[in-house]
Amino acid sequence: MIDHDGFRPNVGIILSNRDRRLFWGRRVGQNAWQFPQGGIHSDETPEQAMYRELEEEVGLVSAQVTILGSTRGWLRYHLPKRYIRRHCGPTCIGQKQVWFMLRVDCGEDAFCLDKTEKPEFDAWRWVRYWQPLHEVVYFKRRVYLQALEELAPALYPEGPPARDEPQSPIARLLSQGGR
Residue 7 — very low, low, confident or very high, per pLDDT cuts 50/70/90?
Answer: confident
Q: What is the mean pLDDT of the chain?
A: 91
Prediction pTM value: 0.88
Contact of 4 with 104, CB cutoff 8 Å? no
How far is residue 177's CA from residue 179's CA, in Å, rounded to a whole number? Answer: 7
First to last CA, the chain: 44
Contact of 25 with 121, CB cutoff 8 Å? yes
Contact of 24 with 126, CB cutoff 8 Å? yes
Q: For residue range 8-51, list pLDDT tens digits in order.
A: 999 999 999 999 999 999 999 999 999 999 999 999 999 999 99
- CA nearest to 46, candidates 102, 98, 101, 103: 98
How far is residue 58's CA from residue 114's CA, in Å, rounded to a whole number? Answer: 8
Residue 2 — very low, low, confident or very high, per pLDDT cuts 50/70/90?
Answer: confident
DSSP class of residue 119? -
**145: Cα separation from own chain's centroid:** 12
Q: What's the chain's Rg over C-alpha atoms?
A: 16
Amino acid at 123: A
Q: For residue range 57-90, list pLDDT tens digits in order.
A: 999 999 999 999 999 999 999 988 766 666 666 6
- CA nearest to 51, candidates 35, 68, 63: 63
Amino acid at 91: T
Contact of 73 with 90, CB cutoff 8 Å? no
How far is residue 111's CA from residue 57's CA, in Å, rounded to a whole number? Answer: 9
